[in-house]
Amino acid sequence: MEAFLSNIDRVVDGFSWTVRLTLVSALLSFVLGILLTAMRASPVPLLRGLATSYVEGVRNTPLTLVLLFCGLGLNSALGLSMADSVAMDVFWWAVIGLSAYTACFVSESLRAGINTIPLGQVEAARSLGLTFTQNLRLIVIPQALRTVVGPLGSVLIALTKNTTVASVAGLGVQEASREMKLMFDQGIAPVLPTFVGFAIGFLILTLPTGYFFGWLSKRVAVVR
């Protein structure tokens, strides 16, 4: 354990990338997820079709491939650069890939949340003359969000763990699991303590998130 602790700066460094990836991707995927959900419920058939195909396609593709497409396809083959330094460039492309992927799950949860809203709510809104966007913005999304706080928490936990894939797939972000693998390979510290240390790191990130969202979902639940 001492050998592991003496390398604690590398561990902290790895987790700092994990946390940054998680937070930025969470925000972006939330926004993107709401947009996708709005498109899927919209009166324009083309928008519905596009959004549905996107969600169905991307969520059935392994994340590794989504990130590979971002790293080797958009970033490299199309020559789109997000930042000057390599480290930030791959970071942003990892964020884009993770968000594009996670947004599908945000959208699926929200759509399910919308399905729980009593029909009377939207009918009342329509009879008051609310337009589609007003209906969505004032009636549907606020209620749907409150019902899906729990599932969104699961999506966030999933995202936290999924950031590990950004260490491979043509991007090589130096997040925590990559540091762990390097420490295994370079024989810096014994394997078991290293693994346990990194596992505790991830549990510190995921367990409180789960409990917080569980608490929140109870607090904001719509009583029907």
Partner 1 sequence: MRVGRISSILGGTAALAFALSACGTADVGGGGGDGGNGGETITIGVKYDQPGLGLLEGDAPVGFDVDVATYIAGELGYEPDQIEWTEAASANRESFLQQGTVDMVVATYSITDERRQVVDFAGPYYVAQQDILVAADNEDIQGPEDLEGKVLCSASGSRSAHNIVDDMGIDAELREAGNYSECLELLGNGTVDAVTTDNTILAGFAAQNPEDFRMVNNPFGEEKYGVGLPEGSTERCEEVNAAIAKMWEESVATQALEDAFGATDFAYEESAPETEDCE
Partner 2 sequence: MSVQTAVLFDVPGPRARVRNVVYTVATLILFAAGLAVLYLGFNRTLTERETSLFDPATWAVNPAGQWAADKWEPFLRPETWTSYVLPGLQNTLTAALTASVLAIVFGLLFGIGRLSERWWIRVPAGAVVEFFRGIPLLMLIFFTMALPIVAWQLFDIPTGTFQVTALAAVVTGLTLYNGSVLAEVFRAGILAVPKGQSEAAQAIGMTRTQNLWLILIPQAVTSMMPAIVAQLVVLLKDSALGYIIAFPELLRSFTLLATRESNVIPAAIICALIYIAINLTLSRVAIWLERRNSRRGRPSAKPTDAEGAPTKADTATGAAGAVAVEPTVQEPLPDTLTEEGRAEPGDGDTDGNGTDGDGSPAGRG
Residues that bind partner 1 (CB under 8 A): 72, 75-77, 79, 85-87, 90, 167-172, 178, 181, 185
Nearer to partner 2, 84 or 185 (CB): 185
- Helix, strand, coil percentages, rounded to 5, for the chain: 80, 0, 20
In the chain, DSSP assigns E strands to none
Q: Which of residues 179-218 bind partner 2 (CB under 8 A)?
A: 180-181, 184, 190-192, 195, 198-199, 202-203, 206-207, 209-211, 213-215, 217-218
168 binds partner 2 (CB under 8 A): yes
Buried/exposed 3-41: b ≥16 CB within 10 Å, e otherwise:
ebeebeebbeebbebbebbbebbbebbbebbbebbbbbb
Smaller CB distance to partner 1: residue 82 or 222? 82
The C-alpha atoms of residue 103 and residue 84 are separated, in whole angstroms, by 27
Give residue for tokens 């590979």. Answer: 68
Residue 132 interacts with partner 2 (CB under 8 A): yes or no: yes
Whose Cβ is closer to partner 1: residue 106's or residue 169's? Answer: 169
We find the least distance from the C-beta atom of residue 18 to partner 1, in angstroms, to be 16
Q: Return the sign of the alpha-carbon dihedral for residues 151, 152, 154, 159.
A: positive
**Which listed option, partner 2, partner 1, none, makes contact with residue 123 (CB within 5 to 8 Å by class)?**
partner 2
Binding site partner of 162, from partner 1, partner 2, none, Cβ cut-off 5-8 A by kind: partner 2
Tell whether residue 31 is a contact of partner 2 (CB under 8 A).
Answer: no
Q: Does residue 136 contact residue 207 with C-beta atoms inside 8 Å?
A: no
What would the two tokens of residue 135 be?
């209906």
- Under the binding rule (CB under 8 A), the answer on residue 128 touching partner 2 is no
Residue 75 binds which of partner 1, partner 2, none (CB < 5-8 A, kind-dependent): partner 1
Q: Which residue's CB is nearer to partner 2, number 89 or number 210?
A: 210
Q: Least distance from C-beta 82 to partner 1, angstroms? A: 12
189 DSSP assignment: S
Structure tokens at 184: 């295994």
